[in-house]
Structure 1
């Protein structure tokens, strides 16, 4: 959501920023200004008609008392016309407001100037690499082949009950997935100060609208028969905990984390990653959400949040790189995004495992989430301001499992257990 006054006062800024996202997207500014003008004209017409109705209504009594029948009839006609104008202007106002809100809700956030311009992932900018890509002395196997050979990763049974893009984990791989999630939560809560939260997995449509999944991306999520939605990420639930709230300034920054299942239809990914666990309809993720006061704090928090996610990869000793996403590859609600990509030996490339984004006040405006500074001598009654939000994966648990399997695989098909996970695995050092 955007401040309509800001668009009205500086349309070229918005036009240029949206065109950096997609060529021609900035043309929506003209439509916004047209709907805004129609809305304001309808409001003006309505207010003027209401004033005329109220003034003439007072005069009707005087005309009737004086016996001036002609003046009485004229005033009554004027009141009737005013009522018709009020009704028509009200309909015009509602229509213009609806069109304006629908248009604005469907437009993405404005990228920061420092975000590189580009069309897709090929234009993303590498920030750093950590670790050396794993070099195995044998031909690396895909995680799905490894898991199935162990008898602990079962796509066929999952498909019988749920269809494609589901997996059933068993025995030590199931425990490894739980170990990864528990380790991530312990680090993010115990060392990085995130508050562990257990949020709902089903939410109302306005929760998805608040974080930007609706109305534009409804096909990417699952809707229930009673109009509820399964969360595509716990960012939705965590960020909406401050919906319609006014937070006290001293409570910020607010940092939350949650381990939840996530549900995605993968509507636009036909034919992509159909094998294995890279792109499932249901997967687990440890999410990080931060609420801060302004852009300066937000950009500092983005660096901090990204480091919190990188810490997990480094302690698991998984090679990765950090990418600054370009304007064309960045998510709908983001102003700046870092992707962390982990090395997968079977694919001989890096694949996304975390995405950390600064959203500015984009989500806060959609949720009406604000904060208020403490009163001071200079400002005894400070006005509430919109908070700024961030979200990131700390990490995607399933993809981390994939990375561990592939990077810790041995020639005999067994899997080494990373040292930091062994206490969570009952001391187990090798899966096999």
Structure 2
């Protein structure tokens, strides 16, 4: 059963899927051309992206069990159909001059495809890489984070040469093909599969691999304290990251006097830290552990948000922003592996879907908080203090998470000792 498949090609298949759906983040290249061509206001055009992002996290939660039941291949094919049709259908919406249809195609259809496509390959990757969970999921989520870097210039050039509607047709078809190529190869390994190198290391005693804390269903997982600790940690980390991404340029210009050109350059570098942070932090977690990585996230951000109100140095201010964004990306890449550690791989996709509701909520809360605070106080300084308070809560929760893990490990160890005594 699937023993002939190469796990690195499985990872490449996952990257192909995530690169395609990650193209959704290039939406800003369409906003002005669509607004000018159709006469729709930029706000109306942006609503489509808002709908898509809101549905991305919620559809991941709604369809998590569907992914577990039907497997990664069927789920990814469904994602490809929805996402591809959503993009191509946007071209039809422009031809018939229908904003509601555009909101449905780019917003609803693409949003559903995005959510399903995001979680489809992840639980499979975790099962194929029991020795390198962080690296494997980091590679896939890196693909998602960098998808926009590939799509943006291609879409911009296509719009100049063949027009907006044809661009949507071409992009939609390309997304469908690349997702389908990934879907046709991806498949779960046999139950309990391990790479030969891992088997040798275990047999020789060269390495000790920690077992998953427990094997739980999604219903059992949501009843545990650690699920809600992780959910809150992810919500705060995501909210802080999206907040920073949404206002980094005007914030840097206002607070430390960065020029518009330098701020634009910083935004580009933020994309590198967002994508690179996903792979770097996920890889690091294989060596220092997922609980420690999340603890480091909140220690870094505590220092950042405490220091930012007093920072006048332009380079230091930008460094703190980049670090916060890297923690944001790292949270997403570490999440699937952390779920496997805490709850096992029995229903990892469904649990992942539930936790990705923080993605949708963070996308709403982050920009809303910073906008409201800035408008009411006419300053970004209070924003830093509000988020410092939130990050301190997350820091406490990450410490409680480590304690909860140790408590469960102790209980499991005692139960094993009792079982051995009875068998003896």
Asked if Structure 1 and Structure 2 have the same fold, meaning a TM-score greater than 0.5 normalized by the shorter chain, the answer is no
TM-score (norm 1): 0.29
| RCO higher in structure (CA 8 A, sep ≥6) | 2
Structure showing greater Rg: 1
TM-score (norm 2): 0.29
* Higher helix proportion (structure 1 or 2): 2
* Higher strand proportion (structure 1 or 2): 1
